[in-house]
């Protein structure tokens, strides 16, 4: 081989090395681009599902088979074994067992009493009874309180004035029933005040929206001592669940006239059945830490970083939310269908164990979790580690897996105590009472308005939790609260109020109750 050929060979080798190096760089760049593209696709599909798809996170790994229309029709219209006729889908009967019954008697007209054949007066042989569900519209009434004034005719100056009930708002014109209706309409039925203004106008009273807003604020001051007592009781719970949601706050000093705050909910255990809402003027976790600073026990939350400070001193122990852990892989279903399918199947079996344990005793529930759910979690952890080896750290699926593995101890803590729940869905459902209202009234007018909303939501949602009518409950509370001492507020707690009403109902004579 000549020198020129040898030099050419060396040059070609160098070029080959350079090309290989460039190829590796292109492959690496392509891999990075593919990772970024996967992230973009995952976010796009997640956004599309959120905006246009089904909101439920239910997952069926074995979708229904495609059936011919004629076979499906035969399946739906199978003959009944008893009658031999086709089954007909009928609407469910209206349930009225909790509706008061009013008896309306209808008498035969006097001219129809004589018999048309012999002219003898007919006698009653029975009655025909039918039912009709009717609504009696509410009406506003202006109460004119006339207080009797007595004086001693001899002393001339010893004057006494008859007492009248304490108004819920000192020197206010709104009665307890009207205030309760305004609160329930806004915070239980999600009607903004401008709609209530129109409703009251149809009933004959022009009440400006600003006045309704003042009533909401003033009544919150009246009800705050009761909510403070509920909070004190709630913090005695073994476990407290919490969640929060952002809300816009009107702020005229802010350059955009709006800033972001948040509303948090805290749920007590079954011995302390209260749902307390707390408003924060910003989105920091300072209010959350302050609310729970004197609490010693277990806290179930969504593992937000702001809660980490709560668990540093050891006075509070974290319980994880498996619904959040499951949601991460679920959002990556389109990118990794096979791997996610395997994880969701395991989660499905874990939740099946909880469904089986739902109505069991504490000992039975604990046994089921230890014997059935614990092995499934071991299988889940192995599967997560196996899948994680194939992923890059920036992959959204890898981040979802990292979340689960990082909080593994908190996520599995419920296995060792039947008083704990598998997830934090209860607090997510509770915060929806605020979220649904926010969709209508969009923002709170001030920090004071946010605090007032928290007070009213606490009472409305706690009354729902205790299966009592919030309108009847708040009407009674607003009637009595200003005439009671602080030591007597216990009787107005939602659970105590419900027990007292149930006792009153059971003591009523049978013939005085509605049929």
Task: Tell whether the model's pLDDT for residue 28 goes beyond 50.
Answer: yes
Does the predicted TM-score (pTM) go above 0.85? no
Instruction: State CA 432 to chain mean position distance.
Output: 4
What is the model's pLDDT at position 385?
92
Question: Which of the pair, 76 or 310, is modelled with greater confidence?
Answer: 310
Task: Tell whether the model's pLDDT for residue 241 goes beyond 80.
Answer: yes
Q: How far is CA 189 from CA 183, 201, 438, in A?
A: 9, 19, 12
Q: What is the rounded average pLDDT for all residues in the chain?
A: 85
Instruction: State CA 179 to chain mean position distance.
Output: 24
Task: Tell whether the model's pLDDT for residue 398 goes beyond 70.
Answer: yes
Task: Tell whether the model's pLDDT for residue 369 goes beyond 60.
Answer: yes
Of 239, 236, 235, which is closest to residue 298 (Cα–Cα)?
Answer: 239
Query: What's the count of helices (H) and strands (E) in the chain, helices before strands?
Result: 16, 8
d(CA 436, CA 223): 23
Q: Report pLDDT digits (tens) over 423-439.
A: 999 999 999 989 999 99
Angle at 279 between CA 309 and CA 414, to 5 degrees: 45
Task: Tell whether the model's pLDDT for residue 511 goes beyond 80.
Answer: no
Task: Tell whether the model's pLDDT for residue 377 goes beyond 70.
Answer: yes
pLDDT category at 515 given cuts 50, 70, 90 is very low
Q: Report pLDDT digits (tens) over 31-73.
A: 888 877 877 877 777 777 666 666 666 666 655 444 444 444 4
CA quadruple 332, 338, 342, 348: dihedral sign: positive
d(CA 457, CA 231): 13
Task: Tell whether the model's pLDDT for residue 356 goes beyond 60.
Answer: yes
What is the model's pLDDT at position 197?
93
Q: Report pLDDT digits (tens) over 253-295.
A: 877 789 999 999 999 999 999 999 999 999 999 999 999 998 9
Averaged pLDDT for residues 18-25: 88
Q: Report pLDDT digits (tens) over 134-192.
A: 777 667 888 888 988 888 888 777 788 888 888 899 888 899 999 999 999 999 999 99
What is the model's pLDDT at position 303?
80
Percentage with pLDDT > 90 across the chain: 49
Instruction: State CA 184 to chain mean position distance.
Output: 16
Q: How far is CA 333 from CA 41, 306, 337, 509, in A?
A: 12, 28, 5, 61
């Amino acid at each position: 081989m000549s020198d020129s050929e040898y030099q050419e060979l060396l040059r070609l080798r160098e070029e080959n090395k350079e090309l290989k190096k460039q190829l590796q760089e292109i492959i690496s760049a392509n891999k990075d681009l593919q990772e970024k593209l996967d992230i973009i696709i995952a976010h796009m599909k997640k956004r599309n599902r959120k905006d246009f798809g089904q909101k439920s996170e239910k997952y069926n790994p074995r979708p229904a088979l495609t059936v011919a229309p004629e076979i499906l029709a035969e399946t739906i219209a199978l003959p009944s074994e008893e009658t031999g006729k086709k089954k007909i889908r009928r609407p469910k009967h209206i349930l009225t067992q909790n509706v008061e019954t009013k008896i309306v008697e209808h008498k035969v007209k006097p001219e129809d009493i004589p018999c048309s054949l012999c002219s003898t007066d007919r006698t009653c042989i029975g009655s025909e009874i039918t039912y009709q569900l009717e609504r009696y519209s509410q009406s506003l009434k202006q109460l004119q309180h006339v207080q009797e004034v007595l004086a001693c005719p001899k002393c001339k100056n010893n004057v006494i004035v008859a007492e009248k009930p304490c108004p819920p708002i000192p020197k206010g014109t709104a009665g307890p029933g009207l205030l309760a209706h305004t609160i329930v309409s806004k915070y239980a039925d999600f009607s903004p005040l401008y709609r209530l203004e129109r409703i009251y106008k149809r009933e004959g009273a022009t009440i400006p929206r600003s006045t309704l807003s003042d009533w909401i604020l003033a009544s919150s001051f009246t009800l705050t001592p009761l909510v403070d007592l509920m909070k004190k009781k709630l913090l005695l719970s073994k476990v407290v669940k919490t969640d929060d949601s952002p809300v816009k706050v009107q702020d005229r000093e802010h350059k955009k006239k709006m800033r972001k705050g948040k509303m948090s909910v805290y749920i007590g255990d079954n011995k302390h059945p209260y749902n307390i809402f707390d408003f924060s003027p910003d989105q920091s976790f300072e209010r959350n830490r302050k609310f729970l600073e004197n609490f010693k026990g277990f806290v179930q939350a969504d593992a937000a970083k702001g809660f980490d400070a709560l668990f540093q001193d050891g006075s509070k122990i974290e319980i994880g939310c498996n619904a959040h852990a499951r949601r991460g892989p679920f959002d990556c279903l389109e990118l990794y269908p096979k791997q996610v399918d395997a994880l969701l199947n395991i989660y499905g079996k874990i939740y099946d164990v909880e469904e089986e344990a739902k109505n069991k005793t504490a000992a039975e529930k604990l046994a089921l979790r230890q014997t059935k759910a614990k092995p499934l979690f071991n299988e889940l952890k192995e599967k997560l580690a196996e899948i994680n080896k194939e992923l890059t750290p920036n992959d959204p699926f890898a981040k979802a897996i990292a979340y689960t593995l990082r909080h593994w101890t908190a996520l599995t803590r419920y296995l060792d105590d039947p008083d704990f729940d598998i997830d934090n869905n209860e607090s997510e459902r509770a915060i929806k009472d605020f979220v649904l209202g926010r969709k209508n009234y969009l923002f709170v007018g001030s920090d004071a308005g946010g605090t007032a909303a928290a007070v009213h939501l606490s009472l409305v949602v706690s009354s729902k939790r205790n299966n009592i009518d919030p309108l009847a409950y708040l009407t009674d509370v607003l009637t009595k609260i200003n005439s009671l001492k602080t030591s007597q507020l216990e009787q107005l707690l939602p659970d105590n109020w419900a027990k007292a009403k149930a006792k009153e109902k059971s003591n009523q004579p049978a013939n005085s109750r509605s049929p």
